[in-house]
Amino acid sequence: MLLVLPLPAYSAENFQVPILLYHRLGPTVADGMTITTSVFEAHMKYLHDNGYTVIPLRQLIDYYKKKGPAPKPKSVVIVEDDAHKSVYSDMLPIIRKYKYPVTIFTYPSAISNAKYALTWDQLRELKKTGLFDIQSHTYWHPNFKREKRKLKPDEYEKLVQVQLSKAKAKLEKELGGQVDMLAWPFGIYDDHLLKKAAEAGYGATFTIERRHATATDNIMKLPRYLLINADSGKSFAHLLEGNAVKRNVVY
């Protein structure tokens, strides 16, 4: 007698979603945060060819907020920190090709000011594609640990308030839409900062812990894989499967 057992149903309790964090692209590895454009394109092709679905970060957050269903198996999220100019020159053509959604976390002080950063017009153009969402990375990317050591308590509190609230207000004014997600600069956060972020109107914040996001994670400290150029080929495949090479990335 042949006994056929039903396959286990996919449930919200066992999803695992890698949030892939990129910083800048280029023809060569100029620094630890640069991924060559060819490696980035190979990443996107691998996702496409191997049955992965790239979902908007907002879709994942809606699950945590009980506004939407759990992400399906082999879901992936793509994000970028800092709004580097290579997002426009190198990333955009590849993202357009695959029509993958991307969330950019930016600090407004650099936009249209720093040579390495995008301009406001470029960010507006990215947003108009319907593929890019722009969210907060504080106002000027401070190291909160360092600032806390050198500032008086009241000065530090003011700094935190400015970094969180001014960034949100500036992005919403320039680009429209809702800015309610925050990536912590250098992955630095503590309970006090989490509380202040919530008070400033952020409903989700992100770290740089090297693991998948799961159903049991705290929405205010969701993990992301900070990718470097060595995360390519088999290493990238293993990372997506939850078997990432353990390394201490110097941010």
The pLDDT of residue 30 is 86
Chunked in runs of 10, what are the mean pLDDT values of the chain (251 residues)? 46 84 95 95 98 98 96 97 98 98 98 98 98 98 96 98 98 97 97 98 97 97 96 97 79 55
Q: What is the pLDDT of residues 198-219, one digit of tens each?
A: 999 999 999 999 999 999 999 9
Distance, in Å, from the CA atom of 143 to the CA atom of 213, rounded to the nearest integer, reads: 24
Q: What is the pLDDT of residues 82-113, one digit of tens each?
A: 999 999 999 999 999 999 999 999 999 999 99
Contact between 137 and 82 (Cβ < 8 Å): yes
Name the residue among 214, 144, 134 with its Cα closest to residue 182.
134
Distance, in Å, from the CA atom of 64 to the CA atom of 54, rounded to the nearest integer, reads: 17
State how far Cα 86 lies from the chain centre: 16
Place of tokens 């308590």: 153
Specify burial of residue 183 (Cβ count, 10 A radius: 0-12, 13-18, 19+). buried
The pLDDT of residue 251 is 55
The pLDDT of residue 250 is 57
